[in-house]
Amino acid sequence: MAKFLSHDQINDFKECFSLYDKKRRGQIYACDLLTVMRCLGCCPTLSELDKHLLTHNIDKSGELEFSTFLSMMLQQIRQENPRAEILVAMRTMDPKNRGFIPVSELRTKLTGFGERLADQEVDELLNEAGVTSDGRIDYEEFVKTVPAAPELPSSAPVVIQGKNCISQTFQPANTPKTAKK
């Protein structure tokens, strides 16, 4: 099955991938996969990461090539929709389906569960959220302030069909590391 990514996306992915290619052999360690994907704007869960590795028969202590990484990124981009996920979560805090949730309840959830946010981070979110005078948030409007997942282009796609295509076209970058981990 053909997969579509733009030249710019592939170049961005290759640049980040190369920063974690410690041996300069065109491979990264599976243990770095989560970090690389998150650096590129994706937010895979640990179970999603395990699924990607399992799909490609890669052990958690193994390595993966760039072509495999591209396939994983494409799959991750296709399945992510942070706005929809947040909207579903906020609707669970609104059992009467009024379209609003109390700021105090949102603050408690954001600072106390999952990847906990600091109070300052919550304050920044709330400043963008448009809190009403009675201390509520219109969560439909709030979700619009959330950045979308990286998008697949609708024009000028590059067709990636297999390992050979990628390995011939994209060699490990010879650029020096510019970012520290």
Q: What does the pLDDT profile of the chain (181 residues) look like in tens digits?
A: 234 778 888 899 999 999 999 999 999 999 999 999 999 888 888 999 999 999 999 999 999 999 999 999 988 888 877 778 888 888 998 989 999 999 999 899 888 887 788 899 888 888 877 788 899 998 888 888 776 655 554 433 333 333 333 322 333 333 344 444 4
- Is the Cα dihedral 148, 118, 33, 178 positive or negative? positive
Whole-number pLDDT of residue 147: 64
User: pTM higher than 0.75 for the full model?
Assistant: no
Query: What phi and psi values does residue 150 have, to the nearest 5 degrees?
Result: -55, 135
Q: Which residues are 94's β-sheet partners?
A: none
Whole-number pLDDT of residue 150: 58
Amino acid sitting at position 26: G
Q: Which residues are 33's β-sheet partners?
A: none
Q: Which of 9, 42, 20, 55 is nearest to 152 (CA)?
A: 9
Whole-number pLDDT of residue 148: 62
